[in-house]
Chains A and B, each alone.
Chain A
Amino acid sequence: MNAASALSLENIARRFGSVRALENASLVVRDGSVHALLGENGAGKTTLMRVAFGLVRPDAGTIRVRGRAVDLPSPAAAIALGIGMVHQHFSSIPALSVAENVALGGHGAYHADRVRARVRDICEMVGFSLDPDARAGDLSVGAQQRLEIVKALARGARTLILDEPTAVLAPSEAEDLLAMLRRFADTGGTVVLITHKLPEALATADAVTVLRHGRTVLAEPVTNVDASKLATAMIGGAPPAAARRERRQAGQVVLAADHLAVRDERGVMRTRDVSLAVRSGEVLGVAGVDGAGQHELLLCLAGRLPPSSGHVEAPATVGFVPEDRLRDALILEFDVAENLALHESGRARGRLAWSRIRARAAEILTEYDVRAQSADALVSTLSGGNQQKLVLARELEPHPSLLIVENPTRGLDIAATAAVHSRLFDACEAGAAVVVYSSDLDEVLALADRLIVMFEGRSRDVPLDRAAAGRAMLGAA
Chain B
Amino acid sequence: MRPATPAPGASAVSTWRHRAATSLGGAAIVVMVAVLSLALLWVALRLAGFDATLALGALWRGSFGTWYALTSSTLVRATPLVLTGLAVAIAFRAGVWNIGADGQLLVGAAVATAVGLAWGAQLGWLSIPLALAAGAIGGALWAGVAAVLRTKFGVLEVISTIMLNFVALDLVGYLVRGPLQEPSHAYPQSDQIPATMHLPILIPGTRLHAGFALAVAASLVLWWAMRSTAAGFRVRAIGANPDAARVAGRVDVARTTTNVLLLSGALAGLAGAIEVSGVTFALYENISPGYGYTAIAVALLAGLDPLGVLGTGILFGSLEAGALSMQREASVPSVVVTAVEAALVLLLLAISRRGSAASIIARFAGARSPTPDDAP
Contact = CB atoms under 8 A, between A and B. Distances in A.
A350 B251 CA distance: 15
A332 B241 CA distance: 8
A42 B2 contact: yes
Interface stretch (B5-13, B119-127, B263-271): B5-13
Nearest to B227: A354
B249 A344 contact: yes
Interface in A38-92: 40-42, 44-47, 50, 55-56, 87-89
B4 A373 contact: yes
Contacts of A331: 237, 240-241, 244-245
A352 B237 CA distance: 14
B374 A46 contact: yes
A378 interface: yes
Interface in A291-348: 299, 303-304, 320, 322, 326-335, 338, 341-348
Interface stretch (B42-50, B207-215, B228-236): B228-236
Contacts of B184: none
Interface stretch (A150-158, A275-283, A379-387): A379-387
A66 B245 CA distance: 50
B233 A352 contact: yes
B243 to A, nearest CB: 5
Interface in B239-293: 240-241, 243-252
B365 interface: no
Nearest to A377: B13
Contacts of B229: 350-352
Contact of B230 (A42, A44, A350, A374): A350
B244 A17 contact: no
B15 A374 contact: yes
A383 B375 contact: yes
A347 B255 CA distance: 13
B333 interface: no
B258 to A, nearest CB: 14
Contacts of B3: 19, 371
Contacts of A376: 13-18
Contact of B13 (A47, A56, A333, A373): A373
Interface string A5-34: 000000000001101010000000000000
Q: Size class of B's contact patch? A: 35 or more
Contact of B240 (A46, A303, A333, A374): A333
A88 B373 contact: yes
A358 interface: yes
A413 interface: yes
Contacts of A333: 240, 369
A322 B247 contact: yes
Given A331-B244, A380-B10, A381-B7, A371 B250 contact: no
B252 A378 contact: no
Given A42-B1, A329-B247, A56 B8 contact: yes
B375 A21 contact: no
B53 to A, nearest CB: 45
B65 interface: no
Nearest to A344: B250
A348 B245 CA distance: 13
Contacts of B371: 89, 326, 332, 380
Contact of B248 (A46, A303, A335, A342): A342
Contacts of B204: none
A304 B8 CA distance: 34
Interface of B: 1-8, 10-18, 227-230, 233-234, 236-237, 240-241, 243-252, 369, 371-376
Given A41-B1, A304-B247, A351-B228, 19 more contacts: A19-B2, A19-B5, A46-B374, A87-B374, A332-B241, A332-B372, A334-B240, A342-B244, A342-B248, A342-B249, A345-B245, A348-B234, A349-B230, A351-B230, A378-B13, A380-B7, A382-B4, A383-B4, A413-B1
5 contacts: A41-B376, A348-B233, A349-B230, A350-B229, A383-B5
